[in-house]
Amino acid sequence: MSDTLHEFSRALADTVEAGGRYTVRVEARRRLPASGVIWSPDGVIVTAHHVVEWDSNITVGLPPDGRPVPARLVGRDPATDLAVLRADASGLEAAPHAGDGDLRVGHLVLSLGRPGRTVQATLGIVSALGQAWRTMGGGEIDRYLQTDTAMYPGFSGGPLVDAAGRMLGINSSALLRGISLTVPVATVGRLVDTLLAHGRVPRGHLGVKVQPVRLPTAVAERIGQETGVLVLSVESQSPADRGGLLLGDTIVALDGQPVRDIDDLMALLGGDRVGASVPVRVLRGGEVRDLTVTIGERG
C-alpha cells in the first residue's frame, strides 16, 4: 500500500513539474500577481482578463525560476475572461493541449499557478461537465467545465491540467463567483486566434436592458411562442434608440429568429451582425410591430 501511495505521489509531482514548464507569472495589477500559460514558443501568453488591470508595463515571470521579461497586451475579451499577452521572449515551451472528449466527472485534475517565483498546485476532481453555454457577458464557452480544485489567490489565468500534464483549459474565478470554472482549450484557441488577428472579439450591441416575460395567450398563439424579452430601458443614441425601440416594448424576434429569453437575444448579437440592418419584431400595446435596427458594436 505504501509503495502505491509513493508512486501516486511521485506521479503527481511529475505532472506538476510538466505543467510548470508552461505556467508563468503575470504582473499586470496592483495586487498579488496572477498566472498565465505559454500558448506558443514565440511568446504568446494566455491569462485571465480580470487580472490584467494595466495596458502597459506588464511583466511575465518565465519558468523555471520566474525570470521576469516585459510583455505587452495584445487583446482581451471580458465576456470569456481571457486576455492575450506577448512576452519579449522566444524558444519557450508551449502547453500541450488535451482534448476533453474522454473527460468524465470524477477524473483527477490539477490547477496550477505561479503567483510567485515557483509553480504551485492544487489537486481535485472534475465535479461537473455540461454542454456549451453563454456567460453573462455574452461569451460563448464550448463546454461547461467545473472542478473542486482550490483557486488560491493568484491562480486565475493558470492552467487546469490532466494526469499527463496536458492543459485542459484556463482557470477563472470571475465567470461565476464562488465556482472554479475552466475555459476549455477549444474556446481558448478560437479566441486567441481572434485576438491575435483583431485585438478584440466583436459582439453586437443594441443598447437595451431586458428581462424575460410571458406573452399574452392570444399573442403567444398567434406568433407561436410563449415568451419574449421586455425592454426595461433604452440607452440614448444607441442602436435601439435610433431604430425606434421604446421602453415597454417586448422583443419577440430579431433578424427572423425567435427571441424567447435573454440567451436567445445574446446569441443573435454575434460579431457577424455588427453594422447590419436587421428586422426586429416587438410587441407594443398588444400589437405586433416590425422595426429595423442597425446593430452596433459593444465597446
Residues belonging to the active site = 50, 81, 156
Q: Which residue has the cell 407594443?
A: 284
First CA to last CA distance, the chain: 58
DSSP letter (8 states) at residue 96: P
Phi, psi of 266 (to 5 degrees): -65, -40
How does 134-152 read in b/e, with b if 16+ C-beta sit within 10 Å?
Answer: bbeebbbbbbebbbebebb
Helix (H, G, I), strand (E, B) or coil at 163: coil
231 contacts 238 by C-beta, under 8 angstroms: no
DSSP letter (8 states) at residue 131: -
- Gap between the Cα atoms of 8 and 142, Å rounded: 32
Phi, psi of 215 (to 5 degrees): -80, 155
Numbers of helices and strands, H then E, in the chain: 5, 22
18 contacts 165 by C-beta, under 8 angstroms: yes
- Gap between the Cα atoms of 262 and 265, Å rounded: 5
